Amino acid sequence: MSFINVSFFLFILLGMIIYYLVPKKFQWFILLVLSVIYYCSFSFKCVYALIYITTIIFVAGLLLTKLDKDCKIACKKEVDGVKLSREEKKVIKAKYTRKRKAVVAIACVLGFGLLALIKYTGFTVSNLNAVFGLSIKTPSFLVPIGLSFFTFQGISYVIDVYQGKCDACTNYLKMLLFVSFFPQIMQGPIGRYNHFVEGGLFAEHKWDLRRAQFGAQRIGWGLFKKLVLADRAGVLVTAVTNTSTIYGGYINVLTLLMYSIQLYMDFSGGIDIVIGVAEIFGVTMDENFRQPYFSKSIGEFWRRWHISLGAWMKDYIFYPFSLTKAMNNLGKWGRKHFGKHFGTVIPICLANLLIFFIVGIWHGAEWRYVIYGIYNGLIIAVSAVLKPYFKKWLEFFHINGESKGWHIVQIIRTFILVNIGWICDISALGMRWGIDFTLGLFKNYHLSQLRLSYLSSFGLAAYDYAILLVGCLIIFIVSLLKERGVNIRESIALKPIALRWVIYYGFFVMILILGYIGTTSGFMYANF
């Protein structure tokens, strides 16, 4: 039941009616039923993975809470009427801390173990066969939809309970709803338990017409991105990347630009639908994009792109790794031998490389994704090391680092670097193809490639290119307004009612007329 099928919107409509008619104390349970039905519409067998992860994190949360209470009780005990000394309490706390860490470690092993078994066994076996000349049969597993998303989300809950950021959930069915909430289970955002509680997942909600309208607007905006822009741009990308032919020149550049459009509009459009559907049910979701193509560096790009994944990596891998004793000692050694700056950035650089290696392999069990992750990690690491020199270079060339002109140069530079990284994404035919495609960016530029008669051979007519151009211009204007703090939906809501509905209906008709409805593919990030 994809977001772009009529059946999905009928499902939402029926679910919404039931949700607001039942007694409010049962609303969260209706969301759970809807979530299970939605997930079963893809595969009933995949529900076992949901139950497996839910059980692990639910039990882990209860155990962590029990151990915390037992520790407090043990510290309050008296021996022969004498209170425990500070040292004795310290020993007791250390004992229970080890037990609580063991609970977290077991939950991580069991949770990520399933993810690794299903997604990366084939990759590991094929590489072992290639390196050692073995002939181990590659196992085949059914990959549950959204496995990476709900596994990361579940493990974040366990760690948050351990760190005291949220209280453990004592209701198994509510925990199951947290893991399986149907709008976001396939492509995120990766939610935090306390954010869901604050966002109203388990709360009682009254029908709110304004909230429903805003939710519908967000859904429409997501459909526009997906159906009008992403799937249209994807036609050319597929035509170029599904053949062993390397066109080179303008076609390679155009393919990268089209892929930038396709990926961003597909993923952010899907997130818009997720947030809009949740809003209709009174649930507030975290934003997952913030105008990423306006970024001035790769580091900033990843703080604006797939925000929930970046935040997860920062909180649960970057800080714990960079603050370890080994990294602290490495930093001291670096400061002693190479100066304060270098010693400070060494742990940060290594932590970033680790994070982006994981980000790469998270996207897919293929070497091209590993290379993609390392590529981004290296750029960020090198930027951190050379930051003082960049400032000196700007001063040497008398460039104002705060000027609008330099700001635009940084945005263009970052956009080019991001697009180079996308080559790994589109190289599904293998690394050799990716290398040839990259080399093709530097040769075979012919004006004949820009003729509409030639461009139409990739599946898009002249009007398709015009629609993409105008559509991207609309996205750019909206993004620019958002960068300047303008709330588009609030602005439209203040317009006269007649004008508002002209905008709404006009947008809806435009999607129906211009979208690839009925022939479009699913959302790209549902595969990760």
What confidence tens digit (pLDDT) does each residue in 203-254 have? 999 999 889 988 999 999 999 999 999 999 999 999 999 888 888 899 999 9
Q: Which domain holds residue 235?
A: 208-289+431-528
Contact status, residue 368 vs residue 434, Cβ threshold 8 Å: yes
Q: Say whether both 168 and 216 belong to one domain.
A: no
Can you tell me the distance from the alpha carbon of 272 to that of 287, in angstroms, rounded to the nearest whole number?
9
Q: 502 and 476 in one domain?
A: yes
Is residue 280 pLDDT above 80, yes or no?
yes
Single residue among 378, 394, 429 that ends a domain in this structure: 429
Residues 251 and 304 in one domain: no
Task: Confirm whether 184 is domain-assigned.
Answer: yes
Query: 244-271: buried (b, 16+ CB within 10 Å) or exposed (e) per residue?
Result: eebbbbbbbebbbbbbbbbbbbbbbbbb
What CA–CA distance (Å, rounded) separates 455 from 443?
18
CA separation for the pair 288, 204 (Å, rounded):
25
Q: Are residues 285 and 325 in the same domain?
A: no
Write down which residue in 406, 429, 452 finishes a domain: 429
Residue-level pLDDT at 169: 95
Listed residues 207, 238, 254: the one ending a domain? 207
Higher local confidence (pLDDT), 314 or 186: 314
Q: Is residue 254 part of a domain?
A: yes
User: Given a cut of 60, is residue 298 above it in pLDDT?
Assistant: yes
Distances (CA, A) of 362 to 146, 190, 471: 12, 13, 31
Structural domain contains residue 242: yes
Q: Considering Cα of 251, then 253, then 254, then 259, what sign does the dihedral take?
A: positive
pLDDT band of residue 519 (cuts 50, 70, 90) is very low
* Per-residue model confidence (pLDDT) at position 157: 96
Asked whether residue 329 is assigned to any structural domain, the reply reads: yes
**Could you tell me if residue 1 is inside a domain?**
no
- Are 42 and 144 in a shared domain? yes
* Residue 349: closest CA among 368, 371, 327: 327
How many domains does the chain divide into? 3
Q: In this predicted structure, what is the pLDDT of residue 528?
A: 59
Q: Is it the case that residue 469 has pLDDT exceeding 90?
A: yes
Residues 479 and 336 in one domain: no
Tell me, yes or no, whether 128 and 241 share the same domain. Answer: no
How much is the mean pLDDT over the chain? Answer: 90
Residue 328 sits in the same domain as residue 413: yes
400 φ, ψ (degrees, to nearest 5):
-80, 110
Give percent above pLDDT 70 in the chain. 97
Asked if 339 and 284 sit in the same domain, the reply is no
Residues 225 and 257 in one domain: yes
Q: CB-based contacts of 112: which residues, under 8 Å, 6+ apart?
A: 151, 155
**pLDDT surpasses 60 at 517:** no
Together in a domain, 272 and 341: no
pLDDT for the residue numbered 518: 46
